[in-house]
């Protein structure tokens, strides 16, 4: 019986396939790490061939575990904004994928901004002129990579974000993107069904190289790579998928995901979000052409700060060790970290900012540094909370998820510093669950997303604030002083 949904979760650090049953239980998982390439400071690349090969291997492994015939639908969720360029002839990548964290196009974005282009672009796309988004990365490839340029000249170039690249390979050559991913490129107007030719011109991206934009759930595509023909019935960028996985279907409901970066989204219903506080307007989902929007705040460095402590500094052996270290000291000993290791995102948007550690003394030990790293998550989230409130979208509570949210100390610290209840589902893989909810609904296994979420979401744990206003202010003052040093 076809009673599983297979989710392909193509993340920044790993690639995973997860089979869910229709009660939301994980029936099987396969995971492979992705190689990270850092050819120059500020540059981050992936091998698109590796993304494809490892994802297909994970998909086949999970399908074999649950049985090919038991898969009713496939859902896809992915790291957003990352750009893949491939040759329609042969279907092979033309260059390394440029990853969302990559800052190489900062100067180009700054020039466009100086030329006064940002307000109109923000009005149309909901986004800001920042190297984070896809369009300037596409332009960079066209300007700097001979193979990409030659393929464009020959009319063979295909550009896409990661879901588009996977779809191309799953379907045997269909060039599609869903509206939630497309809304992260700077090339889609929040009101337009397809990529905007005027925006393509601003960035010098040939419209013909881009995919067709489709819904986030419904009968989107088919694959026969697993034997039987299986519908691909749900597709969403990782943050939109997590918002759905957290059941944020009502206007104002908010989630924060702490993975490599941290991303907060508030459901804005059919209202097109316009931020006055440097937050982003984005497509949350699209069904039968009708869009639901979200207001979003993106913080570039969250779990990657912990990764840096582990891999570059060697201060810790594992990410989870930060929890015991943070608990082993009464406070951070005055140490504050501003984790601007790849610039500062919302609401600051300082592409060239660099990280800062303040308050060091001979009494500082690694426990203080680890605690300060975790504290930085609450500090950054607090800045976002202020921006959302100023944009008329104050949070009443916060639903958290992502690999880093497994850290109980951090979850409690968030509740303390925000002064809000913080809710964490027992199953923190809400990104994959969101894609499963979309695909299950898109394939008609449930009548609505709400019904699917009720059936598939598990229990939650609530963290309530425990510190008083004075302690909260002291923490935030320390953070503001450190920010001033950036
Ligand atoms: P992504 O989907 O962006 O690849 P994940 O959601 O898998 O990321 O989260 C992984 C990130 O979370 C890593 O950067 C890791 O350092 C961090 N992380 C994972 N577990 C913990 C933990 N217990 N405490 C602190 N950080 C953690």
Contact between 452 and 40 (Cβ < 8 Å): no
**Beta pairing partners, 178:** 214
Q: Which atom of ligand 1 is nearest to the CA of 374?
A: 25
Instruction: Quote the pLDDT of residue 429.
Output: 84
pTM over 0.85: yes
Low-confidence ranges of the chain (pLDDT < 70): none
401 class by beta-carbon count within 10 Å (0-12 exposed, 13-18 middle, 19+ buried): buried
Give the sign of the dihedral formed by CA 133, CA 134, CA 140, CA 145.
positive
Instruction: Quote the pLDDT of residue 126.
Output: 96
Instruction: Quote the pLDDT of residue 185.
Output: 97
Nearest CA to 459 out of 28, 23, 29 is that of: 23
Ligand 1 lining (C-beta closer than 6 Å): 11-14, 259-260, 303-304, 306-307, 319-320, 322-323, 402-404, 406-407
Contact between 160 and 84 (Cβ < 8 Å): yes
Residue nearest to atom 1 of ligand 1 (CA): 259
* Four-way CATH pick for 4-237: 3.40.50.10490, 3.40.350.10, 3.10.290.20, 3.30.420.40: 3.30.420.40
User: From its phi and psi, is residue 332 left (phi > 0), alpha (psi between -120 and 50) or beta?
Assistant: alpha
Give the sign of the dihedral formed by CA 438, CA 443, CA 444, CA 445.
negative
Instruction: Quote the pLDDT of residue 379.
Output: 97
Q: Which of 12, 303, 306, 402 to mutate to test the pocket of ligand 1 (most atoms within 8 A of CB)?
A: 303
In the chain, where the domains are located: 4-237
- Distance of CA 13 from the midpoint of ligand 1 (Å): 9
Q: Which of 31, 319, 369, 435 to mutate to test the pocket of ligand 1 (most atoms within 8 A of CB)?
A: 319
- Distance of CA 22 from the midpoint of ligand 1 (Å): 27
Q: Which of 255, 259, 304, 312 to mutate to test the pocket of ligand 1 (most atoms within 8 A of CB)?
A: 259
Q: Which of 315, 404, 414 to mutate to test the pocket of ligand 1 (most atoms within 8 A of CB)?
A: 404
- Distance of CA 274 from the midpoint of ligand 1 (Å): 31
Instruction: Quote the pLDDT of residue 115.
Output: 94
- Distance of CA 170 from the midpoint of ligand 1 (Å): 28
C-beta atoms surrounding 470 within 10 Å: 8
pLDDT digits (tens, 9 = 90+) for 92-145: 999 999 999 899 999 999 999 999 999 999 999 999 999 999 999 999 999 999
Residue nearest to atom 13 of ligand 1 (CA): 303
- Distance of CA 151 from the midpoint of ligand 1 (Å): 37
Q: Which residues contact 225 (CB under 8 A, 6 or more apart)?
A: 56, 59, 170
- Distance of CA 431 from the midpoint of ligand 1 (Å): 13
Assigned token pair, 164: 């588009």
**Beta pairing partners, 234:** 75, 217
For the chain, give me the number of helices (H) and strands (E)?
A: 16, 21
Q: How far apart are CA 166 and CA 15, in angstroms?
A: 12
Residue nearest to atom 23 of ligand 1 (CA): 320
């Amino acid at each position: 019986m076809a009673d599983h949904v297979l989710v392909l979760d193509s993340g920044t650090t790993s690639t995973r396939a997860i089979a869910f049953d229709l009660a939301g239980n994980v029936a099987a998982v396969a995971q492979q790490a992705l190689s990270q390439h850092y050819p120059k400071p500020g540059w981050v690349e992936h091998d698109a061939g590796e993304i494809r090969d490892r994802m297909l291997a994970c998909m086949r492994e999970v399908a074999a575990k649950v049985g090919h015939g038991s898969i009713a639908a496939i859902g896809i969720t992915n790291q957003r904004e990352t750009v893949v360029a491939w040759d329609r002839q042969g279907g092979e990548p033309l260059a390394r994928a440029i990853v969302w964290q990559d800052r190489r196009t900062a100067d180009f974005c700054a020039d466009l901004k100086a030329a006064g282009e940002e307000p109109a672009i923000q009005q149309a796309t909901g986004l800001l002129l920042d190297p984070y988004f896809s369009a300037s990365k596409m332009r960079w490839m066209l300007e700097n990579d001979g193979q990409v340029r030659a393929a464009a000249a020959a009319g063979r170039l295909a550009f896409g974000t990661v879901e588009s690249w996977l779809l191309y390979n799953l379907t045997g050559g269909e060039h599609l993107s869903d509206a939630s991913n497309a809304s992260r490129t700077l090339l889609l107007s929040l009101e337009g069904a397809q990529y905007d030719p005027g925006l393509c011109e601003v960035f010098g991206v040939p419209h013909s190289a881009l995919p067709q934009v489709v819904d986030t759930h419904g009968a989107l595509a088919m694959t026969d790579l697993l034997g039987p023909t299986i519908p691909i019935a749900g597709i969403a960028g990782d943050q939109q998928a997590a918002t759905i996985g957290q059941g944020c279907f009502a206007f104002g409901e908010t989630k924060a995901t702490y993975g490599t970066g941290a991303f907060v989204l508030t459901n804005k219903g059919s209202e097109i979000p316009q931020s006055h506080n440097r937050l982003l307007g984005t497509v949350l989902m699209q069904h039968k052409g009708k869009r639901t929007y979200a207001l979003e705040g993106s913080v570039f460095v969250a779990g990657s700060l912990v990764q840096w402590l582990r891999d570059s500094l060697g201060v810790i052996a594992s990410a989870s060790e930060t929890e015991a270290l943070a608990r082993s000291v009464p406070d951070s000993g005055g140490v504050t970290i501003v984790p601007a290791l790849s610039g500062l995102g919302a609401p600051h948007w300082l592409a060239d900012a660099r990280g800062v550690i303040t308050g060091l003394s001979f009494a500082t030990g690694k426990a203080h540094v680890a605690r300060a790293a975790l504290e930085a998550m609450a500090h950054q989230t607090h800045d976002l909370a202020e921006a959302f409130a100023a944009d008329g979208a104050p949070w009443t509570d916060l639903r958290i998820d992502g690999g880093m949210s497994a850290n109980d100390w951090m979850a409690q610290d968030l509740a303390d510093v925000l002064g809000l209840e913080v809710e964490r589902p027992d199953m923190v893989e809400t990104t994959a669950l969101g894609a499963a909810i979309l695909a299950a609904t898109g394939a008609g296994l449930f009548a609505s997303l709400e019904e699917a979420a009720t059936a598939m979401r598990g229990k939650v744990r609530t963290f309530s604030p425990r510190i008083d206003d004075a302690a909260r202010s002291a923490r935030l003052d320390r953070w503001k002083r450190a920010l001033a040093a950036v």
